[in-house]
């Protein structure tokens, strides 16, 4: 076994610590869906100041202070997720259907008295799926040419990465060398890039006919533990500790066909797992005793994640070798190159602070209105190495600042009780875009990421409707949510590449069953 000096070992650790995470991974784990009880969803989630629903435990913790009785509930849902992508004249549709268990929780309400300022102390727990990452995506078409008839291809990205390293790209050791990007090693070993003097160049006989498909699954589960206080039925305070469990999987395959029997495909497998925690503080104030107006304020700390990325890739290439006339199949599998294991990298992620302002107003006992504004600055997301801090992720953290911006969320909702037992609800959400228009997946020169695809999403619109029945003890709520947003998708990073226009939709039906006593 070769001896490695301490200096060399330190250099290797520095090189291998980064190059695995991207701003698009961070954004996926920062986003949250409109999800929870059917009542909460039916009102568009605009219940931060109204309170009295278990789902407010994750938006304004003071909402649990509104309770005056115990509550136990659970929610199931059925979702249809649709993706329509158009590149040139080619349109591809991908759909997924899923049943999920979205929420279970309880509130224990303890009355202190009527004469003291402190009227109630309430405790709550709630589980819900805060982010679903289930999605299928496909596109295909002839890749357009750049200026001066330059051919555009993922191979160019492999070549650029190769020109930023002096390390050896051949052999299995390249995939365990922290100074080598996996794209460059796969391109070199698959004969997709060549040497011209001291420079690497792309092997591109013709403009490629491209096909892409990805399947994403999993998500983020959220567990909230809450204590809330009711002071004189005028001031409500709440505190929530949130725990998060992450399990995200992605498989993608990208294929380029040069139309003369040559081409290649690149498959990538990624799995991000881990856990995190945050803290949430909230308050609801009734400033005027004679007016049924409520003002809510909440602040959420960043979520502090400890995560692990496991990844592998496989490239199958079939090109003319050395100017010959016969193609020779080449198969490079990083899993086999690393002795039948994935590459594993640990990293920490800190999401942005979140600020929430809400208003609630009731008219008699029949009508309630809610409105909320929420803000997060995505450019403050930060990666850290578990042992050596954020400076080891200067490239990735610089990319976060360059590619993302502040996100504003607006929520409005209303509930009307036709009779005391039966309610009708409407809601709407608007969520602004997190990525700048010119954002791209800026992989580090030594990145082990081989899924080069990325998408810049525009604003999201959620429309909700719901009904509810309240008995003496048991209750049930039903809600329907329709979500839609558009995005510009790119299979790889190329300045002059036309985007694939994508429309994403989600239809979700939620059913909540509960009991108050």
Q: What's the Cα-to-Cα distance from 67 to each of 47, 70, 324, rounded to whole Å?
A: 13, 8, 78
In a domain, 15, yes or no: no
CA distance 21 to 397: 10
Whole-number pLDDT of residue 289 = 85
β-strand 199-202 against 193-196: which pairing, if any? antiparallel
244: closest CA among 213, 274, 276?
276
Q: Give pLDDT tens digits along the chain (517 positions).
A: 233 333 333 334 444 445 568 999 999 999 999 999 999 999 999 999 999 999 999 999 999 999 999 999 999 999 999 999 999 889 999 888 989 998 999 999 999 988 889 999 999 999 999 999 999 999 999 998 888 888 999 999 999 999 998 888 999 998 998 889 999 999 999 999 988 888 999 988 888 999 999 999 999 999 999 999 999 999 999 999 999 999 999 999 999 999 888 899 999 999 999 999 999 999 999 999 889 999 999 999 999 999 999 999 999 999 876 666 667 789 999 999 999 999 999 999 999 999 999 999 999 889 999 999 999 999 999 999 888 877 778 898 999 999 999 999 999 999 999 999 999 999 999 999 999 999 999 999 999 999 999 999 999 999 999 999 999 999 999 999 999 999 999 999 998 899 999 999 999 999 999 999 9
In a domain, 191, yes or no: no
In a domain, 122, yes or no: yes
In a domain, 155, yes or no: no
In a domain, 469, yes or no: yes
51: closest CA among 279, 298, 242, 258?
298
Domain count, the chain: 1
Distance of CA 94 to the CA centre of its chain: 19
DSSP for residue 473: S
Q: Say which residue the tokens 């036709």 belong to.
A: 418
CA distance 395 to 181: 14
In a domain, 281, yes or no: yes
In a domain, 197, yes or no: no
Give the tokens for residue 62.
């003071």
CA distance 42 to 30: 23
211: closest CA among 250, 133, 263, 135?
263
Q: 60: Cβ–Cβ under 8 A, 6 or more apart, which residues?
A: 48, 49, 51, 238, 282, 283, 284, 296, 297, 298, 356, 358
Q: 502: Cβ–Cβ under 8 A, 6 or more apart, which residues?
A: 83, 84, 85, 86, 137, 455, 486, 487, 488, 489
The structure's pTM equals 0.90
Task: Tell me which residue range forms the domain holding 336.
Answer: 23-150+210-516
Whole-number pLDDT of residue 60 = 98
- What residues are paired with 111 via a beta bridge? 120
SS3 of 186-205: the string is HHHHCCCEEEECCEEEECCC
Q: 52: Cβ–Cβ under 8 A, 6 or more apart, which residues?
A: 63, 66, 67
In a domain, 200, yes or no: no
Whole-number pLDDT of residue 17 = 44
Q: Say which residue the tokens 């929530």 belong to.
A: 240
Question: For residue 94, what is the domain's CATH number?
Answer: 2.40.160.60
Q: Which residues of 44-63 are buried (b: 16+ CB within 10 A; e: fewer)?
A: bbbbbbbbbbbbbbbbbbbb
Largest interatomic CA distance in the chain: 94
């Amino acid at each position: 076994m070769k001896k490695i000096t301490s200096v060399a070992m330190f250099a290797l650790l520095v090189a291998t610590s980064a190059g695995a995470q991207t701003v698009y991974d961070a954004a996926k784990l920062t986003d949250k869906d409109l999800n929870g009880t059917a009542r909460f969803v039916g009102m568009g989630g605009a219940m931060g100041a109204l309170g009295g629903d278990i789902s407010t435990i994750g938006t304004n913790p003071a909402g649990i202070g509104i309770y005056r009785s115990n509550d136990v509930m659970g929610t199931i849902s059925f979702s249809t997720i649709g993706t329509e992508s158009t590149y040139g004249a080619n349109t591809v549709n991908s759909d997924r259907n899923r049943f999920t268990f979205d929420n279970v929780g309880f509130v224990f309400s303890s009355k202190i008295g009527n004469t003291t300022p402190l009227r109630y102390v309430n405790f709550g727990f709630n589980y819900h799926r805060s982010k679903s990452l289930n999605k299928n995506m496909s596109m295909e078409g002839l890749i357009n040419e750049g200026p001066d008839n330059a051919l555009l291809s993922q191979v160019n990205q492999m070549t650029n990465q190769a020109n930023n390293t002096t390390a050896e790209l051949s052999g299995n050791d390249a995939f365990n060398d922290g100074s080598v990007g996996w794209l460059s090693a796969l391109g070199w070993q698959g004969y997709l890039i060549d040497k011209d003097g001291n420079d690497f160049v792309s092997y591109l006989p013709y403009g490629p006919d491209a096909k892409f498909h990805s399947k994403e699954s999993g998500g983020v589960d959220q567990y909230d533990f809450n204590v809330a206080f009711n002071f004189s039925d005028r001031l409500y305070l709440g505190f929530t500790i949130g725990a998060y469990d992450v399990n995200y999987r992605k498989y993608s395959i990208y294929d380029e066909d040069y139309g003369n029997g040559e081409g290649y495909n690149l498959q990538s497998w990624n799995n991000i797992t881990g856990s995190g925690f945050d803290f949430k503080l909230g308050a609801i104030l009734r400033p005027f005793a004679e007016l049924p107006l409520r003002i809510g304020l909440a602040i959420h700390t960043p979520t502090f994640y400890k995560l692990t990325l496991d990844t592998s890739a496989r490239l199958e290439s079939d090109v003319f070798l050395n100017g010959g006339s016969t193609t020779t199949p080449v198969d490079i599998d990083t899993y086999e190159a690393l002795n039948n294991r994935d590459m594993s990298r640990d990293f920490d992620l800190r999401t942005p602070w979140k600020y929430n302002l809400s208003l609630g107003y009731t008219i008699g006992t029949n009508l309630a209105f809610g409105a909320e504004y929420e803000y997060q600055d995505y450019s403050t997301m930060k990666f850290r190495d578990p042992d050596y801090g954020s400076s080891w992720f200067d490239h990735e953290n610089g990319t976060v600042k360059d590619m993302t911006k502040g996100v504003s969320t607006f929520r409005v909702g209303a509930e009307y009780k036709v009779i005391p037992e039966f309610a009708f609800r409407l809601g709407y959400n608007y969520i602004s875009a997190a990525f700048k228009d010119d954002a791209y997946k800026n992989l580090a020169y030594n990145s082990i990421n081989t899924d080069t695809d990325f998408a810049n999403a525009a604003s999201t619109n959620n429309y909700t409707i719901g009904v509810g029945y309240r008995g003496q003890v048991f209750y049930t709520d039903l809600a329907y949510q329709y979500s839609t947003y558009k995005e510009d998708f790119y299979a790889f990073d190329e300045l002059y590449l036309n985007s694939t226009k994508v429309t994403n939709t989600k239809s979700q039906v939620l059913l909540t069953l509960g009991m108050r006593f």
